[in-house]
């Protein structure tokens, strides 16, 4: 049933289409809503007029709405059967897919979408709809790859921490996720030092890696200590390696339940770029990736 859209920052919205893997994307969104004690909305964006159609063709519009409504109701039924305690409703927004979800993100606590445009969107590669939503949404976005849905992941959350541009909102989101799900939390920092380069000027003193790693470890330990009172049940560990951050995060998140990264949370022109690390792990990570905007994020 298509219900009125409540204005709540605890709302979870998931997009659906008639492609493969949609059941598991919906299940992941339902589990997130259940953990948050939130309402789940299942959205299917309708682009109208359809390619080659006329904006005045009422019969075509009626058919598109009917087909979309049947699709949404199918996933509503799935959620009601498997998550009987969850409140679920459907949405059939009309418009460009990315613009619709970005607009709805202002009223949501979480968006869930497929990696290649799943979620009521054209099946386009990441970099179109999924890229736009992850970059510009005002709330966290979980992007699910098709092969994320197989097997049983470890109950573990990995969060990337960039010391040059730290994202406390991403770290808080990761802590909240770990607390709600009883997961282990791993704070990961990839540090590439100049001293790792095999060649250099004659007389160059080799880097003291122990000292170079001391600062990042102190920083991460302080972040953990500062959140201990708020999240007493979360077991957090630190992992620092001298390698590319995106490569390390993709490796660290293998078999994890979720990888969390920040989107830099900026507004205006600077938000046009997601950030190289966040962008790369969206392409390479094998688990679902949560992209978290900072305070005032979104356009």
Angle at 229 between CA 226 and CA 233, to 5 degrees: 115
Q: Find the domain containing 219 and state its range.
A: 156-292
Instruction: Give the chain's domain count.
Output: 2
**pLDDT tier at 299, thresholds 50, 70, 90:** very low
Task: Based on the fold, state whether residues 145 and 183 are members of the same structural domain.
Answer: no
The answer to whether residues 255 and 160 belong to one domain is yes
- Work out the average pLDDT over 29-42: 97
Burial of 284 (0-12, 13-18, 19+ CB in 10 A): middle
Same domain, yes or no: 110 and 211: no
pLDDT tens track for 208-232 = 455 455 778 899 999 999 999 999 9
CATH number for position 195: 3.40.50.620
pTM > 0.75: yes or no:
yes
Confidence of residue 50 (pLDDT cuts 50, 70, 90): low
Distinct helix (H) and strand (E) counts, the chain: 8, 10
For the ranges 167-181, 204-218, 236-250, 274-288, which has the lowest average pLDDT?
Answer: 204-218
Residue ending a domain, choose from 99, 120, 149: 149
> What pairs with residue 262 in β-bridges?
292
| One domain, residues 92 and 162 | no
Q: Are residues 189 and 274 in the same domain?
A: yes
Residue 119 CB: number of other CB atoms within 10 A? 31
The 8 Å CB, 24+ separation contacts for 55-59 are none
Asked which of 130, 149, 168 is the last residue of a domain, the reply is 149
Residue 3 falls within a domain, yes or no? no
Query: Do 77 and 180 lie in a common domain?
Result: no
Residue 173 lies in a domain: yes
- Which of 149, 166, 194 represents a domain boundary (last residue)? 149
Segment holding 82, helix H or strand E:
helix 58-82
Q: Are residues 233 and 276 in the same domain?
A: yes
Question: If DSSP codes are grouped into helix, strand and coil, which group holds residue 254?
Answer: coil
Give the Cα separation of 240 and 75 in Å (integer).
41
């Amino acid at each position: 049933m298509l219900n009125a859209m409540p204005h709540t920052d605890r709302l979870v919205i998931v997009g659906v289409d008639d492609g493969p893997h949609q059941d598991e994307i919906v299940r992941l969104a339902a589990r997130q809503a259940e953990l948050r004690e939130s309402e789940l909305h299942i959205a299917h964006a309708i682009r109208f007029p359809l390619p080659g159609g006329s904006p005045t063709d009422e019969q075509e519009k009626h058919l598109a709405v009917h087909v979309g409504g049947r699709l949404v109701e199918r996933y509503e039924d799935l959620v009601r059967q498997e998550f009987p305690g969850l409140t679920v409703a459907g949405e059939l927004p009309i418009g460009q897919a990315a613009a619709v979800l970005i607009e709805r993100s202002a009223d949501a606590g979480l968006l869930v979408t497929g990696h290649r445009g799943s979620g009521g969107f054209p099946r386009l590669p990441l970099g179109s709809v999924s890229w736009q939503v992850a970059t510009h949404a005002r709330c966290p976005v979980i992007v699910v790859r098709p092969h994320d849905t197989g097997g049983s992941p470890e109950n573990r959350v990995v969060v990337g921490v960039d010391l040059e541009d730290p994202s406390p909102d991403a770290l808080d989101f990761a802590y909240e996720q770990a607390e709600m799900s009883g997961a282990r939390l791993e704070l990961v920092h990839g540090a590439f030092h100049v001293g790792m380069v095999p060649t250099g000027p004659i007389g160059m003193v080799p880097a003291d890696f122990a000292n170079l790693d001391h600062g990042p470890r102190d920083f991460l330990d302080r972040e953990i200590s500062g959140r201990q009172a708020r999240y007493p049940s979360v077991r957090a560990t630190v992992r620092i390696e001298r390698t590319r951050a995106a490569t390390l995060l993709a490796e660290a998140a293998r078999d994890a339940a979720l990888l969390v990264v920040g989107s830099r949370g900026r507004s205006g022109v600077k938000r046009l770029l997601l950030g190289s690390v966040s962008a790369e792990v969206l392409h390479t990570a094998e688990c679902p990736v949560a992209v978290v905007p900072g305070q005032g994020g979104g356009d």
